[in-house]
Structure 1
Amino acid sequence: MNFSNLSCALEYRNYYLRLFMKKIFDKYFDNQYFSNIFAYKDKRKIFSRINNDKLMIGAITGDIIGSVYEFNNIKTKDFPLFSKDSTYTDDTIMTIAVADWLLHGGDLAKVMQHYGRKYPNPMGGYGGRFSMWLHEKNPKPYNSWGNGAAMRVSPVGWYFDTLEKTMEVAKETAMVTHNHEEGIKGAQAVAAAIFLARKSYWPDDFADYDDDRKKRERIKKFIEETFGYDLNRTCDEIRPTYGFDESCQGTVPEAIIAFLESKDYEDAVRLAVSLGGDSDTLACITGGIAQAYYLYKFPLDIWKKVYSLLDKDLQNIYMEFHRARFEWFVHPRWWEPHDVRLIEGSKEEKERLERT
């Protein structure tokens, strides 16, 4: 069987071909990574795919869009996404710090301190206690229940292949500062939501593939049952009385509700910002989950704008994280040069495939 020809015949947006290919690869290889193979012969599709699938950008985008509304709340979805004052805040800086740690290892506290000292004055600043922590010689957790643990955790939701590992590492990223039960819970809930959102794209039950309601309901049910958050409210119910709240328990549920109610990525972020409160963090959390769920529909013009607002060092870690974990483009010698195969899998799986 010529699997390269089968792959080249695969059109990404055709559900039935994807279903057929998944069954074929599962049958002959018994390997989940082969069922996520895509190939294109049209270069324009290749570059569109690359630019539209920038992982981790959802959280960063939400942060930047929400940055100008953090201390100037707007209780409507009708607002310009970007202004001359739009920029990244501590949410993005610490998100990149976590991504750097996942890529290179080491002491997470030291990595976060490095980024905090390198970027000492982000828009909106750092929280008072966290700012002190950044400059301690021997940093210790300070029992925080603030939303800082949840705002920086999105890379963890993208990085691992199992929910158990995702939850374990999310707790680890929280514990360096936010060792309060609510701080840990907030980080785990966000990471789990991102993991479940991205995995919903390849559900075990293909009968539910196009059932948007069921996919959202699965995420909602897991978060409610595992973390006890009330996700039965609507944004319209929350908005009138919602104010600035730096706690995980006062931020994470609202951010998840904004995602659950959304129609697409942009709508999700607009809903989050429209609630008021800690706008950049709300939109950062919502944006991270929404990008994982809407995946390949992330607006290219928004990605270009957000990427241009990051400095070179932040761009480098962002791109390294993106390449190292999720997008691995191979030009097999038996394919024409413009054929591209995308394989989603672990580093070990990629190395094994490269040797074969």
Structure 2
Amino acid sequence: MSTEFTSPTSIPVRSFDHRSAARDALRGVAVGDAFGAQFFVPENLPRLRERRLPDAGWPWTDDTEMACSVFDVLRRHGGVDQHDLVRGFARRHDFDRGYGPAMNRLLRLVRGGGKWQELAAGLFDGQGSWGNGAAMRVAPLGAWFAVDVAEAAAQAGRSARVTHTHPEAVAGAVAVAVAAALAARGRVEPVTGERLLAAVEELTPAGRVRSGLAEARELLGQPHAEYAAHRLGNGRRVSAADTVPFALWCAARHLDDFTEALWACASAGGDVDTTCAIVGGIVAARVGTAGIPAAWQVAREPLPEWVAEHELGEDLSRAGLGAEAAPPRRPEPIPVPDLVWTPGQWQRVRHGVRSQSMDDRWDAYLEGDHLFLHRSWTGYGVFQVTVAEDPAGWRPVAALVESDPERYRRLGDEAESAFLELFLRAWYMDDTRPELWERYQELRRADR
């Protein structure tokens, strides 16, 4: 199978190490967050003016705690599992890390069994939060999906809505994720601050955040961060529109220099931990961990042990499922589902799907040009899908289903094809349209 795919929004999938890029962005978020937070301490303000580092021992805040959960979910699922993400936020929620009152309450209620969909949508009299919390944690996600900035934008929206449903908050998360994706792409293709902001503006939904990004582009030639913050905001209002444009201005101005980007950002004051977390995540996606000064990394509080930051994970394989995993014994052809995976979705296909509980029921992994779907509790392979690349992306070109009645009680060809399409679209394309399920049910009833 060819490893090249060219489009204005994609880079060669297999030539890019998305896991290490995401881990680097996470480290950048943590260093930026911890660095910026030091300047809420009045005794450190003279050091800011003189560009002298605060004494070592920089605790990080809720920005880093939530970004760690984002990275953890990506590493395990390959994309945003919203239920798992918000449960991770709630389980690890540390009140003393500086969460806002609304988020403290939401996560406490989720931890007690509340439905995140209702709680997030009900914030601020049903408007949803338009704060900067979704933007501050999302840089690792953008770096993870650098092969496909449209997928980065879509996944950022999913990650935002578990806590922030207001369109401006979602737009802020999208903007930061796209910026981090484009910065990470700078490892394998040229990128400039102007090009980065132009692409981010194009992919960010219309609204105040996008208008701020357009103004940030106009200010790229302006050398003074204080003036840019005066025009764009510095996070003092703790809203996405007041935070994201300035943070992206700082990152775009200093895309290859972590130190300058963070000093410039901190010099403008405001919500310094959050603006610096965003800037740190984006620039670290570009320069890597090696581009973060060693003294800053040492000064920053270590990441939580559960993050296991040195374990990047790997794509699921048959061996990873154990000895009981077996391919179909008596495969027979069925109609091929008509769909195409983008580069970002193909990255998710390669990552695989591993059941997290008995309720999940299915595992999936790629082996060469064949995608296998197994029953999780028996290990039996039920579907085998041959995939191939074409100019639009990757698509299934042949499909087989297990027809041994001792292993799988199959339905008719059309019903099995519809069932397979349900999985392929839901797992890798986040496409859960009710009509797909209704079509399968109609075909199933017709087989009885």
Same fold (TM > 0.5): yes
1:254 positional shift: 0.6
1:265 is aligned to 2:258: yes
Rate the CA distance shift 1:34–1:157 in 2: closer, same or farther, 3 A. Answer: closer
1:287 is aligned to 2:273: no
Rate the CA distance shift 1:82–1:192 in 2: closer, same or farther, 3 A. Answer: same
Deviations 1:170-211 (A, max 9, x none): 0011101111011000000000000011112322xxxxx4xx
Other-structure match for 2:106: 133
Equivalent position amino acid for 1:182 in 2? E
Q: Which has the larger radius of gyration?
A: 2
The percent of aligned pairs where both chains have the same amino acid is 27
Other-structure match for 2:12: 32
1:319 is aligned to 2:331: no
The aligned runs of 1:35-184 (5 Å cut-off) are 35=15, 54-70=24-40, 72=42, 74=45, 78-84=50-56, 86-104=58-76, 105=81, 106-116=83-93, 119-122=94-97, 125-136=98-109, 137-138=113-114, 139=116, 140-141=119-120, 142=123, 143-160=128-145, 161-184=147-170
| CA distance in structure 2 between the partners assigned to 1:165 and 1:240 by the alignment | 33
Equivalent position amino acid for 1:290 in 2? V
- Aligned residues of 2:153 and 2:177 also touching (Cα < 8 A): yes
Structure holding more strand per residue: 2
Equivalent position amino acid for 2:244 in 1? V
| CA distance in structure 1 between the partners assigned to 2:15 and 2:57 by the alignment | 44
1:195 is aligned to 2:181: yes
| CA distance in structure 2 between the partners assigned to 1:259 and 1:156 by the alignment | 17
1:97 positional shift: 1.3
- Aligned residues of 2:141 and 2:177 also touching (Cα < 8 A): yes
The aligned runs of 1:205-354 (5 Å cut-off) are 209=190, 215-225=192-202, 226=204, 227-228=210-211, 229=213, 230-231=215-216, 232-233=218-219, 234=222, 235-239=225-229, 244-262=236-254, 264-295=257-288, 297-299=290-292, 301-302=294-295, 304-305=297-298, 309-314=302-307, 316=308, 318-320=309-311, 322-324=312-314, 346=347
Say which SS state the counterpart of residue 319 (structure 1) adopts: coil
Deviations 1:224-269 (A, max 9, x none): 3343322123414135685622000000011011112225011111
1:81 positional shift: 3.2
Rate the CA distance shift 1:245–1:265 in 2: closer, same or farther, 3 A. Answer: same
RMSD of aligned Cα (Å): 3.3
Deviations 1:119-153 (A, max 9, x none): 2312xx21010000011131321200100010111
Other-structure match for 1:9: none
Say which SS state the counterpart of residue 68 (structure 1) adopts: helix
| CA distance in structure 2 between the partners assigned to 1:323 and 1:164 by the alignment | 24
What are the ranges of 5 or more consecutive residues in structure 1 without an aligned counterpart? 1-24, 38-49, 204-208, 326-344
| CA distance in structure 2 between the partners assigned to 1:200 and 1:272 by the alignment | 21
1:103 positional shift: 2.6
Q: May I ask how many residue pairs the two structures share in their alignment?
A: 280
| CA distance in structure 1 between the partners assigned to 2:105 and 2:280 by the alignment | 28
TM-score (norm 2): 0.55
Say which SS state the counterpart of residue 68 (structure 2) adopts: helix
